[in-house]
Amino acid sequence: MNGRIIGTLIKKDVVLFFRDKFFGVMTLLMIVVFIVIFFILPATIRGTIKVGFYVPSFSTFFSKNLMTDGLVIQNMESDEEVRRAVMEKEVQVGISIPGGISALLDSEKPTDIFVYSSSEVPKDIQEMYTVLMNEMVTRMAGKKSPVNWRAVVLGPDLGGSQVPYRNRMIPLFAFMLIITETLGLANLISSEWETGNVQALMVTPLTVIDFFAGKGFTGVGLAFSQAFVFMAVTGGLKQNAFLVITALFLGSILVTGLAFVLASVAKDMMSVLGWGVLVLIVLVLPATAALFPGLFSGWIKVIPSFFLVDILSRAVNYDIGWSGNLKNIFLLGGSGVVCVVFGVFFLKRKIS
Amino acid sequence: MSPDAINVDNIEFSYGNVHAVKGITFDVKEKEIFGFLGPNGAGKSTTIKMLTGQIFPKKGKISVLGMDVTKKTGRVQARIGVSFEQTNLYEQMSAVENLKLFADLFGVKKFDADKLLAMVDLHGRNRDHVSTFSKGMKQRLMLARALVNQPEILFLDEPTEGLDPVSADNIRKIILKERERGAAVFLTTHDMMEADKLSDRVAFIHEGKIVALDSPYHLKQKFGKRLIKVETETASGELKETEITMDEPYTADDVRSLFAEEKVITIHSEEASLEDIFIQITGRGLTG
């Protein structure tokens, strides 16, 4: 590899990228638009909380006392049904009070009452319901009762606070900025191939390795820098910054590999866009899943972009660090390497 | 005798089942302009690709500037310049940017793009995007690009294709200047007049094989017929054209009798062109 030659190629590619009216303008525009949208979206969350409620007796008492703005009560038939409803995200909080609660309280024996919550419900909301229920049980018994309040989180415990929509959008926007470079880089390479520029480059001291290194650095650099700027401006680097940066870097490698694959099959800008849209649709699904949890089932996890979006979402929105993202980091890095190897293989065949 | 700039020994190349080059052998001397002529699909471009290290021969050996091009591709490419038939400039970059890019790739220090652009008559358009250039201007810029590293061998693939006579003549002058500077020139062209004017030697390639190789003069001597074309006026006032083959025992008598018996209006000699010779050897023209 020749550093001087690779540097020359990168400089040339960056100049050409931003002189392409479509991709150059779109790249800059997307950063600005996503940042503007982020700041326009509300920073606070206001929503309705559904509570699944199982109490064999006194259900009317509890229902009436729990009536409040933004709260929907759903009476359930059993403790199992409450757990299932929470697991399947039909309700955010489930409360299960054993039958004969009145007698149990009178006997002054310790009694277990379960407050189930899904992993997306913030701890303060869980605690609020525990306090509320304790208050009502005390009122019903007419005295302080020996109740063991059992808070059970169903599903992975993501902890943290409830995430405002604009923060949920961060992984989606960052990913959109990165993935756009797939099209930009693929178009750059395929147009160089189409116009015979590659042929002209290949009769200079430049080697095939220099060529791929130049394209690789350009692709990773463009994708990473945009996402980095976006993250920095929107506060996505306030916590777990190194983890987020690592994820963005690995994601940029992934899309660069995909750009190589795309460039190897595409003949011109139109075919880049044609194939690229197909790839985008598939890759954007995991990002949407982060925005709307429960929309897709587990199959989404086989799409490599899921690992990137999941890391960003967990690190930025739930303050989960390296230990909780290690598996995703390895999978994202592995997917990136596989994509680059395939991309270089196919593109080299085309160029040679 | 000057050493060889290029030495090609029995090279072959196939694209799948298509045998594009079938064992050709030739050499190009230093400071020589070597014309490589043949119709489309004859194997010209494949040969250039092999000589410039873009593809490697399946059989045979190629030595360029004393180096095996398959083993020292990078070193060879650092000392050659290539101008392609297809315009392959960066259209969204200026003329200067295009030249500087390649000068940087070649590692040329103190590169003067403006001087090179003046040499190919592109001064005044240095900072304009190539997309605004005419075909002739692009062709000249391609030639300038091939010269950024002052190559020892210049490969020119159809350098005057589709150009107006003035632009074509400018390019021919630059080719001759490059020869004067000391470069060998490997030239492929359809234009037989151009090959005739410029080339020290020409090779005819047909269906992947070299069918003739010599100087244009010797090829004409060997294969061509020299003629005298005489235009006369008959008694009824009609014009008639008569061709008399030169260098024959009866030539002088035929000319004498024409002058004695008829009124000669015009008379001029005519040599066989390289095109005629190519047709004579291969049975087909070069432009097909």
Reported ipTM: the value is 0.81
* Strands annotated E in B47-173: 59-64, 67-68, 80-83, 153-157
**Smallest Cβ distance to A199: which of B88, B91, B101?**
B88
Which residues in chain B touch residue A10, judged by CB atoms under 8 angstroms apart? Answer: none
pLDDT at B247 over 80: no
- Which residue blocks in B78-146 are alpha helix, DSSP H? 95-106, 113-119, 135-146
For the segment A40-57, the average pLDDT, to the nearest whole number, is 70
The residue from A134, A154, A174 where one domain ends is A154
Closest CA to A121 of A54, A176, A52, A179: A52
pLDDT at A46 over 60: no
pLDDT at B255 over 80: yes
Q: How many Å apart are CA A136 and CA A140, to the nearest integer? A: 6
For the segment A1-18, the average pLDDT, to the nearest whole number, is 87
CATH number for A81: 3.40.1710.10
Domains: count for chain A: 2
- Test A5 with B105 for CB contact under 8 angstroms: yes
Closest CA to A70 of A96, A40, A92, A97: A92
Is the Cβ–Cβ distance between A249 and A224 less than 8 Å?
yes
- Which residue blocks in chain A are alpha helix, DSSP H? 3-19, 21-40, 59-66, 79-87, 101-106, 123-141, 165-194, 197-201, 208-234, 241-265, 269-291, 304-312, 322-351
Instruction: Give the pLDDT score at B57.
Output: 92
Residues constituting chain B: 288
- The structural domains of chain B, with segments of one domain joined by +, span 4-221, 225-270
Averaged confidence pLDDT in chain A: 80
Residue-wise pLDDT tens digits, A63-114: 666 666 566 777 888 888 888 888 777 787 888 887 777 777 777 777 788 8
Q: Is there a single domain that holds both residue A35 and residue A123?
A: no
- The alpha carbon of residue B57 is apart from the nearest alpha carbon of chain A, in Å, by 13
More confidently predicted of A24 and B257 = B257
Which residues in chain B touch residue A196, judged by CB atoms under 8 angstroms apart? Answer: 84, 86-88
Which residues in chain A touch residue B92, judged by CB atoms under 8 angstroms apart? Answer: 16, 19-20
Which of these ranges, A233-242, A281-290, B239-248, B263-272, has the smallest mean pLDDT? A281-290
Closest CA to A235 of A35, A29, A42: A35
Strand arrangement of the beta sheet that strand B18-29 belongs to: B18-29, B4-15, B59-64, B67-68
- The alpha carbon of residue A341 is apart from the nearest alpha carbon of chain B, in Å, by 23
Predicted confidence band of residue B285 (pLDDT cuts 50, 70, 90):
low
Closest CA to B175 of B191, B160, B162, B192: B160
The residue from A95, A122, A154 where one domain ends is A154
pLDDT at B51 over 80: yes
- Test A199 with B54 for CB contact under 8 angstroms: yes
Question: CA nearest A206 in B: which residue?
Answer: B105
Q: Is there a single domain that holds both residue A149 and residue A171?
A: no
Domain that holds residue A7: 3-42+163-351
The residue from A154, A187, A216 where one domain ends is A154
Q: Is there a single domain that holds both residue A179 and residue A314?
A: yes
Residue-wise pLDDT tens digits, B164-188: 888 888 888 889 999 999 999 999 8
Residue-wise pLDDT tens digits, A97-106: 877 777 777 7
Residue-wise pLDDT tens digits, A207-260: 888 988 998 899 899 889 988 998 898 888 888 889 999 999 999 999 999 999
Instruction: Give the pLDDT score at B1.
Output: 47
Which residues in chain B touch residue A20, judged by CB atoms under 8 angstroms apart? Answer: 92
pLDDT at B228 over 50: yes
Among 3.40.50.300, 3.30.70.1380, 3.90.1300.10, 3.10.20.30, what is the CATH number of B4-221?
A: 3.40.50.300
Percentage of residues in chain A with pLDDT exceeding 70? 85
- Test A203 with B104 for CB contact under 8 angstroms: no
Q: Is there a single domain that holds both residue A219 and residue A339?
A: yes
Residue environment code for B230-244, b if the CB has 16+ CB neighbours within 10 A, otherwise e:
bebeeeeeeeeeeeb
Q: Is there a single domain that holds both residue A128 and residue A148?
A: yes
DSSP 8-state symbol, A314 = I
Instruction: Give the pLDDT score at A297.
Output: 61
Instruction: Give the pLDDT score at B16.
Output: 85
Which of these ranges, A130-134, A287-291, B9-13, B166-170, has the smallest mean pLDDT? A287-291
Q: Is there a single domain that holds both residue A346 and residue A227?
A: yes
CA angle at B23 for the pair B194 and B192, rounded to the nearest 5°: 10
Is the Cβ–Cβ distance between A273 and A262 less than 8 Å?
no
pLDDT at B201 over 90: yes
Report phi then psi at B83, rounded to 5: -115, 125
HSE-CB for A201 with a 13 A CA cutoff:
26
Is the Cβ–Cβ distance between A137 and A105 less than 8 Å?
yes
Four-point Cα dihedral A276, A281, A283, A287, nearest 10: 140
pLDDT at B153 over 90: yes
pLDDT at A292 over 50: yes
**Smallest Cβ distance to B54: which of A8, A12, A203?**
A203
Closest CA to A13 of A245, A251, A218: A218
Residue-wise pLDDT tens digits, B54-75: 889 999 999 999 999 999 998 9
Predicted confidence band of residue B283 (pLDDT cuts 50, 70, 90):
confident
